[in-house]
Amino acid sequence: MAAMRQIQKLKLDQKLSPQQIQLMKLIQIPTQELEERIEQEIQENPAIEEGSENEEKEQDEWDQDDQDNADSDNLDDVNWDEYLSDDEVPAYKTHANNYSSDDEERTIPIAFQDSFIERLQTQIGMRDLTEQELDIAYYVIGSIGDDGLLEREVRDIVDDLAFNRSIYVTEEEVEKVLSIVQELDPPGIGARNLQECLLLQLKRKPQSPNVELAQKILTKYYDAFIKKHYKKMMESLNISEEELKAAQEEILKLNPKPGNVSGGGSRGAQNVIPDFFITINDGELEMRLNSRNAPELRISRDYREMLEHQKAAKDKATKSEKEAVRFIKQKIDNARWFIDAIMQRQQTLLLTMGSIMKYQEAYFLSGDERDLRPMILKDIAEEVDLDISTISRVTSNKYVQTPYGTKLLKTFFSESMLNSDGEEVSTKEIKKILEMAIGDEEKRKPLTDQHLAELLKEKGYPIARRTVAKYREQLGLPVARLRKEL
């Protein structure tokens, strides 16, 4: 039997402090979520309050060297004179936002709008339905996705109503209510597939020979139509190319995603608030952080005054009063950590975005995606001397408003490849040229992937056909056969 013995072992173990974890989380969230996070912190921690320099000229300096004393449970060891130092410093050192109120911020206003689900519920409420039919209708509407199509099978809706709502109905009853929902606006709503969606829209259009032919094509030759087997359809329907083209034009006018009409989805308008602003002034790029969405924060004056009162009466403090002081100190420390994390977040974002702007200066000046340089997270991490994971968090779900539109930061990153001259070029540059080539092609004879590869090779980008196919799919472009037009 092996003998038991004790040994000492030295091991390095990296552990993140709560403050570091808090900072990483704050760095990752976009400006819109930051507003909610700050509001939550203000509600949970009364030691934080919103304030500007106009409301209070200066804040007292808080000595960071006393952090160890602030964490101590022994109140007699607290250096009250240093903790409540009356030395005055500029207010911006305790503010999360140190931008002037005179700074001009130009943002694109976003109008509030109801989701199309809410609009459907309003419309169905005006129909003459029984209470049970109305319950079924609301459940059917709730099963409609962002694209406006029904996401649940009718038989599944029957089961859902029975188990979740204790409403026992047949498939025929649900079908009847679904047909009423499909009469609502916008046309095509509540369809079970794309074919039904297009047919619902055609039925509500003024009837004409072209519309009737379009309905016939979608009803009997739907598969052939989406695969663009035009010759086969013309022979089967005994129609000319001009008649088929006229019917096709009627179909192309339809909306395959009626739920996205007016830019609204089932979740309502998706607001995008830029985290950065880049402008061009006299040929020079200027960048700033969208800091107005983060209100100015400071330590509560009331809480400091409570500590001052306890300082004067510390010798006579009861046990409950000492516990109250510990609570106040903890809240103040948490407030200080949070405000410091907000400021560190701003500094990290500015540093990272400044490096990206410098790296992609040619693009930000021209707006031409062909000017984008190959750039990966490691390039920026080395430039600003931060970890790659930090750069990933900074660029995650962040947007920058440029003279050419609001862009997602991740779109500026791309891999590189060598052109025929041995120079590194961005894959985004190749994709842009590929997109332009497909856009300019003869639609009656669209370019195959092999022809596109040969075209790119002529322009100095020697890439294989399978790579062209990969880039084309990433651009959301179909194969040549499906791009063919009459």
Nearest-CA neighbor of 195 among 217, 227, 228, 175?
A: 217
> Of the ranges 81-90, 130-139, 323-332, 404-413, which one carries the lowest mean pLDDT score?
81-90
Q: Would you tell me how many other CB atoms lie within 10 Å of the CB of residue 218? A: 22
10-29: per-residue pLDDT in tens? Answer: 665 555 566 677 777 888 88
- Res. 179: pLDDT tops 90: yes
Considering only residues 382 and 107, tell me which one the structure prediction assigns the higher pLDDT: 382
**Both tokens assigned to 469:** 């196919």
> Average pLDDT for residues 228-237, to the nearest whole number?
88
> Of the ranges 84-93, 121-130, 259-268, 288-297, which one carries the lowest mean pLDDT score?
84-93
Question: How far, in Å, CA of 175 to CA of 167, rounded?
Answer: 15
- Res. 279: pLDDT tops 90: yes
Are 366 and 353 a contacting pair, CB within 8 Å? no
What's the pLDDT score for residue 201?
93
Nearest-CA neighbor of 23 among 339, 291, 333?
A: 339
Please tell me the pTM assigned to this model.
0.52
DSSP for 259-271 reads: GGGGG-BTTB---
- Res. 222: pLDDT tops 80: yes
* Domains of the chain and any CATH numbers: 17-98+271-368+376-411 (no CATH), 116-263 (no CATH), 414-486 (1.10.10.60)
**Both tokens assigned to 165:** 């709502």
Question: How far, in Å, CA of 223 to CA of 229, rounded?
Answer: 9
318-363: per-residue pLDDT in tens? Answer: 777 777 777 877 888 888 888 888 888 888 899 999 999 999 999 9
47-58: per-residue pLDDT in tens? Answer: 888 765 445 555
Range ranked top by mean pLDDT from 86-100, 313-327, 376-390: 376-390
Element holding 281 (H helix, E strand): strand 276-281
Output b/e per residue, 257-268; b: 16+ Cβ within 10 A: ebbbbeebbbee
Considering only residues 416 and 225, tell me which one the structure prediction assigns the higher pLDDT: 225
- Res. 448: pLDDT tops 50: yes
**Residue % of the chain over a pLDDT of 70:** 76
Nearest-CA neighbor of 346 among 14, 38, 52?
A: 38
Q: How confident is the model at residue 440 (pLDDT cuts 50, 70, 90)?
A: confident
Considering only residues 421 and 102, tell me which one the structure prediction assigns the higher pLDDT: 421
- Res. 267: pLDDT tops 50: no
